[in-house]
Amino acid sequence: MKKEAKAVIDGSAHRGTASSFPKRHALLQNQARKIACHIGQIEARLMHAAAGMGTQKRERDVEREELDLNLTMKESDVPNGFKEYRRCVSLPEKEREGLTRGFSASVTEPLHVCVVGSGPAGFYTADRMLKGHEGAQVDIIDRLPTPFGLVRSGVAPDHPETKIVVNQFSRVAANGRCSFFGNVTLGRDVSLSELRETYHTVVLAYGAESDRSLGIPGEDLKGIHSAREFVWWYNGHPDMCDLSPDLKNTQSAVVLGQGNVALDVARILLCCKTELATTDIADYALDALCGSTIRKVYLVGRRGPVQAACTAKELREILGLKNVRVCIEEADLATSPADEEEMRSSRIQRRVYELLSKAASAHRDNNCNDQKELHFVFYRRPTRFIPSENGSTVGAVELEKTALKVDEVNGKQVAVGTGEFEDLKCGLVLKSIGYKSLPVQGLPFDKIRGVVPNLRGRVMSSESETATVETGLYVVGWLKRGPTGIVATNLHCAEETVASILEDDTKGVLRAPSDSKKHGRTGLVEILEQKNVRFVPFSGWEKIDSKEKMAGQLRNKRREKITTWDGLLKAANE
């Protein structure tokens, strides 16, 4: 059956073209799809049997617990430029040719797709493209020698269940129609224009690798880091292996923010270090944390407990830490009618508030002196960082008390300053106020929102009413919707973008007769070789993976990460 499918798909069963034999071509296309679909179903059953459905089901259940996503858009919100684009591609082929140079590609011709970024959004996109289009040839490029993005460098080391998804991503990379190119930086090693000239479709999935700034005095003092930098540091990201946060000269740390990342870094600072010893945490980070003198961590939020941005799962975990006393001011737990309305409309917010209230009651009479302390500080916003006596390191954070006011525009409660200030002493500050995506040359970018203007994944020239579609250019993940959601959120996001790609290809938008110069993978290799770029294939990553696991076995860890650029490139080429 595979031989029959190949004969249809590569054209050996029929040498005519779509324009010469439209009926026969359509029949062959339909036969090819049915055969490929049947083969895909058989392969999928075999893969499921080999992988074991138990762990995958558990992973999906965990990720689905807090999933709350709405990717729909009202017709009234659709830019006029896209409406015209959609009208053109919906026309009959003869009418469309003059407008869009429509071309119904033969099933023998591959659809060359390049995905920029190998995190969850990138791999889910590749997976859905390979499953949704039997002719798709997908190449994934990433600036790191290692794939998997935040699954490797962002997920906490004591959350191995979340990292199970890399098994699925590895199977995607093993597909004969998929290739990985690590150590390739967009904008330095290959430009966006070069990719668009080489591929029919380019999907940007490079996420958010920068941080939002508070823009307040003293932000450049030593001892102040972004949560992203701290997370990359303990996860062994090669860009942050030399961060060296000072954990020995203070007893107090302040985390600005109350989202899941904020809870992660607070938990890592407070948890029992023996529980981290067998994880894949970087060895230098484990040593530093074991020598830490930090006893108190303050989680500071602008609004109240009802508006805390964390999920119940993450909150339960940090509230359950051994030998850690949870401290919450009783007055901060008081709720307003607006708070009650928010909890009625959001199950997640209600559960978070209930967990915080229960924790406050349970720890109120616990005054054991040998315990570490976790303080939830609500209704405060930072206004400046105060230097310590030496003048170069942070010594305290000045906080302004806030109150909640209903925004007349969107009806949401926002924090406004009251003019009352207080200082919170500390020697370490971690800013968890949001990741930020960065633009590349030739890419439309909304600097205020930090995202690429798009409609269901199709990149638009701008946010204006007259915006036009950037044909063949798509976006997915944080670059598409902002730095929000969990791993599973990227699956739904990728499905939406891939649906747009498949729709456009079906309409003849992506491949035209003049596109014969688009060589995809071979074209990319030529570009990289001409520039002497030392790219790392997936087989190179497998060498890194094997070496890390072997080193981990010697220390009774899941893996011992290689944390330097030179070390990673050397391991990939051994």
Instruction: Give the span between the Cα atoms of 494 and 117, in whole angstroms.
Output: 13
Residue 146 pLDDT > 60, yes or no? yes
pTM over 0.75: yes
Task: Dig out the tokens for 356 from the structure.
Answer: 């915080």
124 contact partners, CB below 8 Å, separation of at least 6: 476, 490, 491, 493, 494, 495
Within 13 A of 234's CA, how many CA atoms are on the CB side?
29
Max CA pair span of the chain = 85
pLDDT in the model for residue 67: 39
DSSP secondary structure of 48-86: HHHH-HHHHHHHHHHHHHT--------GGGS-HHHHHHH
What's the chain's average pLDDT?
Answer: 85
Instruction: Output 326 or 52, whichever has higher pLDDT.
Output: 326
495 contact partners, CB below 8 Å, separation of at least 6: 124, 128
Confidence of residue 512 (pLDDT cuts 50, 70, 90): confident
Task: Dig out the tokens for 17 from the structure.
Answer: 């073209």
Cα 273 from chain centroid (whole Å): 27
Q: Return the number of other C-beta atoms located less than 10 Å from residue 447's C-beta.
A: 9
Task: Dig out the tokens for 65 from the structure.
Answer: 């617990």
Q: Return the number of other C-beta atoms located less than 10 Å from residue 95's C-beta.
A: 12
The tens digit of pLDDT for each residue in 421-443 reads 999 999 999 999 999 999 999 99
Known binding-site residues for NADP(+) equal 258-261, 302-303, 314, 485
Known binding-site residues for FAD equal 121, 150, 186, 478
Task: Dig out the tokens for 253 from the structure.
Answer: 């740390």
**475 located within any domain:** yes
Q: Does 310 lie in the same domain as 356?
A: yes
CA-wise closest residue to 208 among 228, 181, 231: 228
Q: What is the three-state SS of 500-553?
A: HHHHHHHCCCCCCHHHHHCCCHHHHHHHHHHCCCCCECHHHHHHHHHHHHHHHH
Let me know the angle formed at the C-alpha of 568 by 286 and 524, rounded to the nearest 5 degrees. Answer: 140
Q: Does 230 lie in the same domain as 200?
A: no
Confidence of residue 515 (pLDDT cuts 50, 70, 90): low
The tens digit of pLDDT for each residue in 102-144 reads 344 444 579 999 999 999 999 999 999 999 999 999 999 999 9
Residue 334 pLDDT > 80, yes or no? yes
Instruction: Give the span between the Cα atoms of 108 and 110, in whole angstroms.
Output: 7
**76 located within any domain:** no
pLDDT in the model for residue 92: 52
**571 located within any domain:** no
> Any bridge partners for residue 325, and if so which?
373
Instruction: Give the span between the Cα atoms of 29 and 35, in whole angstroms.
Output: 10
Task: Dig out the tokens for 282 from the structure.
Answer: 């970087």
Residue 426's CATH number: 3.50.50.60
Q: Does 410 lie in the same domain as 342?
A: yes
Residue 125's CATH number: 3.40.50.720
CA-wise closest residue to 452 among 513, 493, 410, 408: 493
Instruction: Give the span between the Cα atoms of 564 and 562, in whole angstroms.
Output: 6
Q: Return the exposure string of 288-325: e unless at least 16 CB atoms fall within 10 Å of the residue's CB, then b.
A: bbeebebbbbbbbbbbbbbbbbbbbebbebbbebeebb
Q: Does 187 lie in the same domain as 167?
A: yes
Among 276-290, 326-340, 500-514, 527-541, the range scoring the smallest mean pLDDT is 500-514
**59 located within any domain:** no
**367 located within any domain:** yes
**551 located within any domain:** no
Question: Looking up tokens 């209903």, which residue turns up?
Answer: 406
**79 located within any domain:** no
The tens digit of pLDDT for each residue in 472-494 reads 999 999 999 999 888 889 999 99
pLDDT in the model for residue 432: 97
Q: Choose the final residue of a domain: 405, 435, 465.
A: 435
Question: Looking up tokens 């530093």, which residue turns up?
Answer: 288
Confidence of residue 414 (pLDDT cuts 50, 70, 90): very high
**391 located within any domain:** yes
Confidence of residue 162 (pLDDT cuts 50, 70, 90): very high
Residue 37 pLDDT > 60, yes or no? no
> Any bridge partners for residue 181, and if so which?
141
Q: Does 216 lie in the same domain as 180?
A: no
Q: Does 499 lie in the same domain as 512?
A: yes
Coarse DSSP helix, strand, coil percentages of the chain, rounded to the nearest 5 percent: 40, 20, 40
Known binding-site residues equal 121, 150, 186, 258-261, 302-303, 314, 478, 485
Full domain range(s) for residue 366: 212-435
Q: Does 244 lie in the same domain as 105?
A: no
Q: Does 404 lie in the same domain as 451?
A: no
CA-wise closest residue to 470 among 443, 499, 448: 443
Q: Do 235 and 560 contact (CB within 8 A), yes or no?
A: no
Q: Does 189 lie in the same domain as 145?
A: yes
Q: Into how many domains does the chain fold?
A: 3
Q: Does 233 lie in the same domain as 340?
A: yes
Average pLDDT over residues 385-412: 94
Burial class (CB in 10 A: 0-12, 13-18, 19+), 392: exposed
Residue 18 pLDDT > 80, yes or no? no
Q: Return the exposure string of 32-64: e unless at least 16 CB atoms fall within 10 Å of the residue's CB, then b.
A: bbebbeeeeeeeeeeeeeeeeeeeeeebeebbe
Q: Does 245 lie in the same domain as 390?
A: yes
Q: Do 235 and 282 contact (CB within 8 A), yes or no?
A: yes
Q: Does 315 lie in the same domain as 454?
A: no
Task: Dig out the tokens for 359 from the structure.
Answer: 């924790």
pLDDT in the model for residue 56: 44
DSSP secondary structure of 300-343: E-SS-GGG--S-HHHHHHHHT-TTEEEEE-GGGG---HHHHHHH
The tens digit of pLDDT for each residue in 64-82 reads 433 333 344 444 555 555 5
Instruction: Output 23 or 90, whichever has higher pLDDT.
Output: 90
Phi, psi of 416 (to 5 degrees): -125, 145
- 255 DSSP assignment: E
Q: Choose the final residue of a domain: 435, 463, 498.
A: 435
Task: Dig out the tokens for 207 from the structure.
Answer: 């996420």
Average pLDDT over residues 194-222: 96
